[in-house]
Amino acid sequence: MVLRELLSPYYRVLAAPSGEIALRIVVRGDAIDLILLDVMMPGLDGYEVLRQLQENPVWAAIPIIFLTSQSRPDDERHGLQAGAADYITKPVQPVVVLARVRTQLQAKQARDWLQNQNAALEAEVNRRMQENDLTQQVSIRALAHLAETRDPETGQHILRTQGYVQLLCKLLQQHPRFSGTLTDSYIDVLTRSAPLHDIGKVGIPDHVLRKPGPLTAEERVVMQTHAKLGCDALKSAECDIQKPPAFLSLAKEVALYHHEKWDGTGYPTGLAGENIPLSARLMALADVFDALTSRRIYRISMSFDDARVIMQEGRGQHFDPDVADIFLAHYAEFVAIAKRYTESD
């Protein structure tokens, strides 16, 4: 009653005659900024009330001032070590109580303000990161679609191959050969980089890129330059940026090496086996499967059954054997992606 009369002119005061009732008031959800807690009480003493408050992160943030007739230095030290913010001995002095209460409330107000500022700052950082992420994805997709405008019959090629690569990554993530590389972060970056694998086609002349029949040997050489053209374009973009984003590194790999073959007969460098970056090995399988099962200017699409036979034949020759095995074991899932993004979409 003394404390309520002292504090009520300045603050909203809730009084409890016991520790149990004090805890009920806190649980009720009232906005409480400070608790003045007697140490010696019937039932739950002050230390037990404090302990129960500290079990909940929200309640633990409320500062506690212990009020007690125990005035020995060890008592005060024990109270502060238990988690009290301050320790006032009885009989209380009004000026001291008001000063200590004001100090604790000002400190809590400052902490709350800082916490709110940090939360607002974190929300703004997250918003900008999401905005930057979306801008990056849109930019990648725009560049990829630019390449497809030169080769319009590839249709939903971007979405299909991106889906194939992402599924391959997920299926191989626990494989002992690949688990060290295929982290969640790597998979995310590779998935968003995959659409840029054919960006170099913008540099291939129309009479080669859109030729309705088989290419001559000379034309095939020209067509094969799209791998290096794409990588060089991405390198140029990388040089223009002080701190290039992570996706550019993998985008260069898939652009340059996605036509390499496991047996070393691919292009443009004739790499073989594990010398071919994993990103390009995954992209190679996705690209070939999509080429077989999609309509092209020079041929109709192949049935999924026939495509499966050819993909099986490419195991250990065109494709990494383990990558091919996981693809064939989950073939129906890849077919489902192909059907989801059909040419008519």
Lookup: tokens for 164:
């194939």
CA distances for 94 relative to 32, 88, 89, 90, 181, angstroms: 21, 11, 12, 11, 67
How many Å apart are CA 216 and CA 205, to the nearest integer? 14
Q: How far apart are CA 282 and CA 168, in angstroms?
A: 7
Residues near 282 by beta carbon (within 8 Å), at least 6 away in sequence: 165, 168, 169, 172, 190, 323
pLDDT tens-digit series, residues 95-133: 999 999 999 999 999 988 988 888 888 888 888 877 777
The whole-angstrom separation of Cα 41 and Cα 135 is 61
Is 182 a residue whose pLDDT tops 70?
Answer: yes
Q: What is the pLDDT of residues 28-58, one digit of tens each?
A: 877 899 999 988 888 888 889 999 998 988 8
Which residues does 177 contact at the CB level (< 8 Å), separation at least 6? 322
Single-letter residue type at 292: L
257/13 Cα distance (integer angstroms): 72
For the chain, list the strands marked E by DSSP. 35-38, 64-68, 86-89
- What's the rounded Cα separation, in Å, for the pair 19 and 48? 8
Q: Are 135 and 322 in contact (CB under 8 A)?
A: no
CB-based contacts of 45: which residues, under 8 Å, 6+ apart? 19, 39
Query: 312, 328 in Cβ contact below 8 A?
Result: yes
Per residue in 149-181, pLDDT tens? 666 555 588 889 999 999 999 999 999 999 999
Tell me what pLDDT residue 210 has: 83
Structure tokens at 17: 């005659």
Segment 206-235 mean pLDDT? 90
User: Could you tell me the domains of the chain?
Assistant: 2-121 (3.40.50.2300), 150-340 (1.10.3210.10)
Distance CA 93, CA 107 (A): 21
With CA atoms as reference, report the closest residue to 319 among 330, 306, 310.
Answer: 310
| The pLDDT of residue 13 | 93
Bridge partners (DSSP) of residue 245 are none
Model-wide pTM > 0.75: no
Task: Residue 265: name the closest of 286, 284, 292 by CA.
Answer: 284
Cα separation of 31 and 14, whole Å? 10
Q: Say if CB 331 and CB 309 are below 8 A apart.
A: no
